[in-house]
Amino acid sequence: MTPIHEAMLRMGQRAKDASRVLALVSEKQKNAALLAISQTLQTHAQEILDANAIDISRGEQSGMSPALLDRLRLTPARIDSMASGVLDVIGLPDPVGRVLDRYEHPNGMQIEKVSVPLGVIAVIFEARPNVTSDAAALCLKSGNAVILRGGKEAIYSNSKICALMRQAVVSVGLPEDVVSLVADMSRESAQELMRLNGLIDVLIPRGGAGLIRACVQNATVPVIETGAGNCHIYIDQSADIEMAAQIVLNAKTSRPSVCNAAESLLLHEAIAETALPYIARLLEEKNVILHGDARSCALAPQILPATEEDWATEYLDYQMSVKIVSDLNEAIAHINRYSTMHSECIVTRDDAAARQFLDQIDSAAVYVNASTRFTDGGEFGFGAEIGISTQKLHARGPIGLPELNSYKYKIHGNGQVR
Amino acid sequence: MTPIHEAMLRMGQRAKDASRVLALVSEKQKNAALLAISQTLQTHAQEILDANAIDISRGEQSGMSPALLDRLRLTPARIDSMASGVLDVIGLPDPVGRVLDRYEHPNGMQIEKVSVPLGVIAVIFEARPNVTSDAAALCLKSGNAVILRGGKEAIYSNSKICALMRQAVVSVGLPEDVVSLVADMSRESAQELMRLNGLIDVLIPRGGAGLIRACVQNATVPVIETGAGNCHIYIDQSADIEMAAQIVLNAKTSRPSVCNAAESLLLHEAIAETALPYIARLLEEKNVILHGDARSCALAPQILPATEEDWATEYLDYQMSVKIVSDLNEAIAHINRYSTMHSECIVTRDDAAARQFLDQIDSAAVYVNASTRFTDGGEFGFGAEIGISTQKLHARGPIGLPELNSYKYKIHGNGQVR
């Protein structure tokens, strides 16, 4: 038993113990904790900025890219936004203790199915320090203790934010271990965290494809895969081409770095000749580089030849793959083969084609004539989300507060035996 | 790439392709497939018995225990019961295509949350060949393709049953690969099966603690842990002792080999002196061996001293651990420490104690004054179950047809962008 193994076991056990307290706490007390966290972040903003300055200076010294430095950097406005994000969670309904079902066994036993917290949620995430307070607030309101492990680039910022949150929850009478942070940034601590069976009820990775793959490959605790989005837009032969163009532009360029941005464009061969040159030009104006199959390249000179790898690539950038298909079936087969099962869209005026696409596309969110960018807890009316699940076990699509709960059966008898 | 790896990939891909067809099939056609399976099992009963005879003779030659041989053995009556089990599934409601939620985005988009099959379910199980048809029927009705992998002891029986089922589904126009069986019984094929990410949506192990541990440790596909049941009965100081005795007797001895049988008895110290000698005598009459802490041993001479290991042991046999606790809190702490989160019971006349136990015990099913033996899909009104989940992600407790579904969001827009 290595020291790190022992330390992680202890952290897991303390989180489990704290989760048993938190599971039974009233909504009022959880909201008081959220209020205290929000206020503490604001009143101690300077300390957070000072800690963040250390991360930034280390990042600059190690040659971090300007884009990553920007994600890492906190400002008074960003801290305000973290604090108000926590406040927003107060307004969301408490998911714990809902009676999901209630019935009587023929022998007279009363069976009740009631929502309960999952227990301890581990969240492994990358550079952005605001995830620390976001994830903690959602776990807390849903009655779950949380163990956070951010990236090493943000360790000073995350440690300070977590210490302040622990101070805040204690101030309202909750155990500090409802929120904890793995401060050891070794590979070993991450590995141990992923294998704390019996102490961690679910692990949610939030980050790039590499992080998610590492969790899926190495974790023995249950994992919810999130956030990989190789999203497709298929323009059917009956599409309104102007509508299609606007949806593609929005889904590709409104925020290319997020998981619900579109990465691949498919066009029915019957409209490709009209639609593709027009849409390719609009995308070019936005500096989008296109990688297409041979037929696409023949229709628009600015399209580069795609490789097999392009079809499976989530660019998260101003790039997009393009393919011309001979019919809807080919489009569906291509998407189901290469998609990450996040969000896909058909642009069409044909109801039968829309229905077939909705039924046969095997993704969390399937759109007819709307941008894939809407796959988001806020847009779906959940108020907030801790991530977007791309697997089918447990939650699928945006994970809001109800998805951070499980349930149990409470049975009342008077001596029944079987 | 080894030949087994290639073979498993091919099997996974064929199952995935078949699952896409099955997901969209009408309830009527699925029921026709179930009827065909049921009839085929009956009309080909002799072939199944012949195949089973090979397994039995190999088992005898290898020195298999009489208990295991009995689990392995098929008889005309057992085949009838398999066939009628499949027929029963016809009567269960189809879980696919239920509209779970429907609302309008402020921008006018219609958002619908609809139940869909999980896709491909892998079931790894041990000796009993009847699991082959049970699991296949439940997966089929819930719209999922299934890949079965039974124990090598039953390979001839399982291969025959699976071949007949494939023949039956083809006869009603479904692809044969909605049901398949891993015939290679090497360790490697099991390992490959557990790592078919992207092809298998969930793995459900059905068997002993060793099998479940192997799946949890080695699988990279999502797993639902099932069936480990270190179930406790706590007799509170206010308990009706006769009721407690009947519940303990039933939970321990009505069927000791199943996961909802009780394995551990806790008694409040205030009633132990009266209750324990009486209950120990009743259990002794049923040949139950008791392993107790020092205080229990002092109260009843037939109780053997327990070791630390006993508290965590699922005997699945005529054995039970016994412990005297000083109060309800100690009972709850003990249970939450050693239980497998399956089923626990308090016997009490005190409503406050009952409420505290129901709230604080972290198990799938928590009983007041009733036997733990009721944790079962049939008893809970699900009609059937594929197993009992002891984890919190996705399903908890008995897994019926609705739990074998996921959901997706279908969104209708008319050009909305974000």
ipTM: 0.96
Q: What is the mean pLDDT of chain A?
A: 96
Longest dimension (CA), chain A: 79
CB B138 within 8 A of CB B171: no
**For residue A119, which residues of chain B lie inside 8 Å, CB to CB?**
362, 392
Q: Is residue A391 situated within a structural domain?
A: no
A273/B contact by beta carbon, under 8 A: no
Q: What is the pLDDT of residue B353?
A: 98
| HEC secondary structure over B98-143 | CEEEEEECCCCCEEEEEEEECCEEEEEECCCCHHHHHHHHHHHHCC
Looking at CA atoms only, how far is residue B250 from chain A in angstroms?
6
Q: Which residue of A has its CA nearest to B365?
A: A409
DSSP string, A255-323: -TTSTTSEEEEEEEHHHHHHHHHHHHHHHHHTT-EEEE-HHHHHH-TTPEEP-HHHHT----SSEEEEE
Q: What is the pLDDT of residue A207?
A: 85
Helices (H), A62-114: 66-72, 76-90
pLDDT tens readout for residues A350-388: 999 999 999 999 999 999 999 999 999 999 999 889 999
- B370 and B403 in one domain? no
- Asked if A392's CB is within 8 angstroms of B202's CB, the reply is yes
Structure tokens at A176: 């500090």
- A248 and A116 in one domain? no
B363/A contact by beta carbon, under 8 A: yes
Distance CA B281, CA B313 (A): 22
pLDDT for A42 beyond 90: yes
- Asked if B222's CB is within 8 angstroms of A222's CB, the reply is yes
Looking at CA atoms only, how far is residue A222 from chain B in angstroms?
7
- B235 and B217 in one domain? no
Query: Rounded mean pLDDT of B179-192?
Result: 95
- B268 and B212 in one domain? no
**For residue A396, which residues of chain B lie inside 8 Å, CB to CB?**
406-408
Burial bucket for residue B172 (CB in 10 Å: 0-12, 13-18, 19+): middle
Longest dimension (CA), chain B: 79
Would you give the DSSP letter of residue B376?
Answer: S
Distance CA A281, CA A286 (A): 9
Amino acid occupying residue B95: P
**How would residue A218 be classed by pLDDT, with cut points 50, 70 and 90?**
very high
Q: Is residue A299 situated within a structural domain?
A: yes
Q: Is residue B146 situated within a structural domain?
A: yes
Residue with tokens 């630390």: B308
CB B190 within 8 A of CB B210: no
B238/A contact by beta carbon, under 8 A: no
Query: Rounded mean pLDDT of A335-350?
Result: 97
DSSP string, A312-356: T----SSEEEEEEESSHHHHHHHHHHH--SSEEEEE-S-HHHHHH
- Asked if B394's CB is within 8 angstroms of A394's CB, the reply is yes
pLDDT for B319 beyond 80: yes
Which residues of B, range 23-52, sit inside 8 Å of A by Cβ? 24
B413/A contact by beta carbon, under 8 A: yes
Of the candidates B30, B26, B117, the residue with the CA atom closest to the CA atom of residue B407: B117
- B267 and B183 in one domain? no
Of the candidates B255, B269, B261, B273, the residue with the CA atom closest to the CA atom of residue B232: B261
**How would residue B235 be classed by pLDDT, with cut points 50, 70 and 90?**
very high
pLDDT for B302 beyond 80: yes
Looking at CA atoms only, how far is residue B308 from chain A in angstroms?
18
Q: Which residue of B has its CA nearest to A109?
A: B370
Q: Which residue of B has its CA nearest to A366?
A: B410
Looking at CA atoms only, how far is residue A133 from chain B in angstroms?
23
Looking at CA atoms only, how far is residue A60 from chain B in angstroms?
34
pLDDT for A127 beyond 80: no
A198/B contact by beta carbon, under 8 A: no
Distance CA A234, CA A251 (A): 12
- Asked if A336's CB is within 8 angstroms of B373's CB, the reply is no
- A101 and A11 in one domain? yes
Domain that holds residue A315: 231-378
pLDDT tens readout for residues B36-74: 999 999 999 999 999 999 999 999 999 999 888 998 999
**For residue A202, which residues of chain B lie inside 8 Å, CB to CB?**
392-393
Q: Quick one: what percent of chain B has pLDDT higher than 90? A: 95
Of residues A20, A358, A409, nearest to B364 (C-beta): A409
Cα-based distances in Å from A405 to A98, A116, A145, A220? 10, 6, 12, 20
pLDDT for A73 beyond 80: yes
Query: Rounded mean pLDDT of A137-158?
Result: 97
Of residues B119, B363, B380, nearest to A408 (C-beta): B363
- B403 and B322 in one domain? no
Distance CA A336, CA A322 (A): 16
Say which CATH number the domain at A54 has: 3.40.605.10
B103/A contact by beta carbon, under 8 A: yes
Of residues B202, B368, B374, nearest to A393 (C-beta): B202
Which residues of B, range 277-316, sit inside 8 Å of A by Cβ? none
Q: What is the pLDDT of residue B128?
A: 85
Amino acid occupying residue B28: K
pLDDT tens readout for residues B397-414: 999 999 999 999 999 999
| Distance, CA of B97 to chain centre | 25
**For residue A391, which residues of chain B lie inside 8 Å, CB to CB?**
201, 222
Of residues B197, B247, B375, nearest to A216 (C-beta): B197
Q: Quick one: what percent of chain A has pLDDT higher than 90? A: 94
pLDDT tens readout for residues A177-198: 999 999 999 999 999 999 999 9
Supply φ then ψ for residue B104, to 5 degrees: -110, 130
| Distance, CA of A2 to chain centre | 32
Supply φ then ψ for residue A222, to 5 degrees: -60, 140
Q: How many CB pairs under 8 A join A and B?
A: 190
Q: Is residue A313 situated within a structural domain?
A: yes
Of the candidates A160, A113, A165, the residue with the CA atom closest to the CA atom of residue A136: A165
B409/A contact by beta carbon, under 8 A: yes
B382/A contact by beta carbon, under 8 A: no
Please give the tally of structural domains in chain B: 2
- B206 and B160 in one domain? yes
**How would residue B227 be classed by pLDDT, with cut points 50, 70 and 90?**
confident
Q: What is the pLDDT of residue A208?
A: 85
- B26 and B171 in one domain? yes
- 3-state secondary structure at position A254: coil
Min mean pLDDT across A363-367, B107-111, B123-127 is at: B123-127
Q: Is residue B388 situated within a structural domain?
A: no
**How would residue B88 be classed by pLDDT, with cut points 50, 70 and 90?**
very high
Order of strands across the sheet that contains A405-416? A99-104, A110-117, A405-416, B365-370, B343-347, B231-235, B262-268, B319-325, B289-292, B304-305
- Asked if B415's CB is within 8 angstroms of A368's CB, the reply is no
pLDDT tens readout for residues B138-168: 999 999 999 999 999 999 999 999 999 999 9
Structure tokens at B97: 């295509």
Distance CA B96, CA B119 (A): 12
Q: Which residue of B has its CA nearest to A199?
A: B337
Q: What is the pLDDT of residue B87?
A: 96
pTM for this prediction: 0.95
- Asked if A392's CB is within 8 angstroms of B254's CB, the reply is no
Of residues B103, B397, B408, nearest to A409 (C-beta): B397
Q: What is the pLDDT of residue B384?
A: 87
Q: Is residue B394 situated within a structural domain?
A: no
A250/B contact by beta carbon, under 8 A: yes
- A236 and A218 in one domain? no
Supply φ then ψ for residue A30, to 5 degrees: -65, -40
Of residues A216, A222, A408, nearest to B220 (C-beta): A216
Which residues of A, range 149-178, sit inside 8 Å of B by Cβ? none
Looking at CA atoms only, how far is residue A55 from chain B in angstroms?
33
Q: What is the pLDDT of residue B126?
A: 86
- Asked if A417's CB is within 8 angstroms of B250's CB, the reply is yes
Which of A260, A408, A414 is the mutation pick for testing B, counting most B CBs within 10 A?
A408
- A213 and A237 in one domain? no
Looking at CA atoms only, how far is residue A275 from chain B in angstroms?
16
A337/B contact by beta carbon, under 8 A: no
Which of B392, B396, B407 is the mutation pick for testing A, counting most A CBs within 10 A?
B392
Burial bucket for residue B285 (CB in 10 Å: 0-12, 13-18, 19+): exposed
Say which CATH number the domain at B321 has: 3.40.309.10
- A206 and A105 in one domain? yes
Min mean pLDDT across A9-13, A255-259, B409-413 is at: A255-259
pLDDT for A126 beyond 90: no
Looking at CA atoms only, how far is residue A369 from chain B in angstroms?
5
Q: What is the mean pLDDT of chain B?
A: 96
Distance CA A409, CA B367 (A): 8
A109/B contact by beta carbon, under 8 A: yes
Of residues B119, B368, B396, nearest to A413 (C-beta): B368
Query: Rounded mean pLDDT of B258-265?
Result: 96
Of the candidates A26, A13, A17, the residue with the CA atom closest to the CA atom of residue A143: A26
Structure tokens at A46: 């300077």
**For residue B13, which residues of chain A lie inside 8 Å, CB to CB?**
none
Q: Give the torsion through C-alpha atoms of A103, A105, A109, A113, to 10 deg.
A: -40
Structure tokens at A377: 């807890």
**For residue A222, which residues of chain B lie inside 8 Å, CB to CB?**
222-223, 391-393
Q: Is residue B30 situated within a structural domain?
A: yes
Give long-range contacts, CB 8 A cutoff, 24+ apart: A306-311: A311/A264, A311/A337, A311/A338
pLDDT for A1 beyond 80: no
**How would residue A91 be classed by pLDDT, with cut points 50, 70 and 90?**
very high
pLDDT for A340 beyond 90: yes
Q: Is residue A205 situated within a structural domain?
A: yes
Cα-based distances in Å from B349 to A25, A127, A325, B72? 25, 55, 70, 44
